[in-house]
Copies of this chain bind each other. A is one copy, B any other.
Amino acid sequence: MLSIGKLSGLTGVKVPTIRYYEQIGLLPKPERNEGGQRIYNHTSRERLNFIRHARELGFPLDDIRELLALSDDPDQSCDAIDAIAKRQLAEVEHRLVRLKALHKELERMIVQCTCGTVQTCRVIQVLGDHGLCAADHQKIVSHDIDQ
């Protein structure tokens, strides 16, 4: 029998986030006490831990929703689960490649700057003229690198 604050402390998920997960249907609506405050049990705690861990591994909430649904049916094949995990792995690998290219380019740009005036600043020059770049981030789109 846990208050939302206790559950938060035990799982490391913030109180408003727990309420948010409930709101979007990721966590079932819990019991309430006479005063109308939420009370949780061990099952809620496990489910929330699962969600948190999956978030830590970068799974989007929609995938987590699906993973939770699949995990409720223990006799099914886990192919679908595997597919989601592999998709996430591919996504992470994709981001890694882009981020490495970015890193290289940023570093190159910064190293070349001799820190004089804005007029001769290599950073500004490179940002203004893509031709000064190494070619390897030509096709990066913002979606790949945000956050």
Q: Which residues of A contact B (CB under 8 A)?
A: 46, 49-50, 53-58, 67, 70-71, 73-79, 81-82, 85-86, 88-89, 92-93, 95-96, 99-100, 102-103, 105-107, 109-110, 113, 115-121, 123-124, 126-130, 133, 137, 140-143, 145-147
Contact = CB atoms under 8 A, between A and B. Distances in A.
Given A86-B110, A110-B85, A124-B71, A58 B119 contact: no
Given A109-B85, A147-B146, A78 B124 contact: yes
Contact of A85 (B50, B95, B123): B123
A110 to B, nearest CB: 5
B147 A102 contact: no
- Ranked nearest first, the 6 interchain pairs of A and B with the lowest CB-CB distance are A78-B121, A74-B119, A147-B147, A58-B145, A89-B106, A71-B124
Contact of A82 (B105, B115, B143): B115
A127 B54 contact: yes
Given A53-B130, A106-B89, A81 B121 contact: yes
A100 B95 CA distance: 10
A127 B133 CA distance: 41
Given A85-B106, A124-B67, A117 B74 contact: yes
A96 B103 contact: yes
